[in-house]
């Protein structure tokens, strides 16, 4: 546990639309683990490094934007973001990420480049610190490992 005068680093795990259905929706593409299972595992991993992992999922673009804005005031150091379908449509979320000036790692469970053509474009690709695409649920773990390494270094 940190001393009272120490501030634990914080990471925000942010998930967009339909990711609340993980484990139920197309498990042959997205796997069998629920979002809660993933978030719990990452929270435990972060805690071993004395880092707080905050978790938020919404199907609403506005709620995601509000959460990104809130992250600025909470001194979040990294955002791990699976924007879901908003990857291909949301300039507003892109602007929120840029405005927050918090490094962000973009995560996609599926191999989006092997799917429908409309999934090939990302509004976040050029502003993401890194992108993890098609690694299944491990993409979340790798994103967390990269953020922890950056914080610790």
108 assigned to active site: yes
140 is an active site residue: no
- 105, 129 Cβ separation under 8 angstroms: yes
Catalytic residue among 30, 86, 123, 140: 30
Q: Do 65 and 93 touch, CB atoms closer than 8 A? A: yes
Task: Spell out the residues 6+ positions from residue 6 whose beta carbon is closer than 8 angstroms to its own.
Answer: none
Q: Considering 28, 86, 108, 123, which one is annotated as catalytic?
A: 108
Catalytic residues: 30, 108
């Amino acid at each position: 546990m940190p001393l009272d005068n120490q501030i634990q680093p914080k990471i925000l795990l942010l998930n967009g639309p339909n990711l609340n259905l993980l484990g139920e929706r197309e498990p042959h593409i997205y796997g069998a683990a629920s979002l809660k299972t993933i978030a719990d595992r990452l929270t435990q991993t972060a805690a071993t490094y004395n880092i707080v992992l905050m978790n938020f999922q919404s199907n609403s673009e506005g709620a995601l934007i509000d959460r990104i804005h809130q992250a600025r005031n909470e001194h979040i150091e990294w955002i791990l973001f699976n924007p879901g379908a908003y990857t291909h449509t949301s300039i507003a979320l892109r602007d929120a990420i840029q405005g927050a000036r918090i490094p962000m790692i973009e995560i996609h469970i599926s191999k989006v480049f092997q799917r429908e053509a409309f999934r090939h474009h990302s509004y976040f690709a050029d502003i993401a610190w890194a992108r993890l695409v098609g690694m299944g649920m491990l993409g979340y773990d790798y994103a967390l490992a990269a953020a922890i390494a950056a914080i610790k270094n």
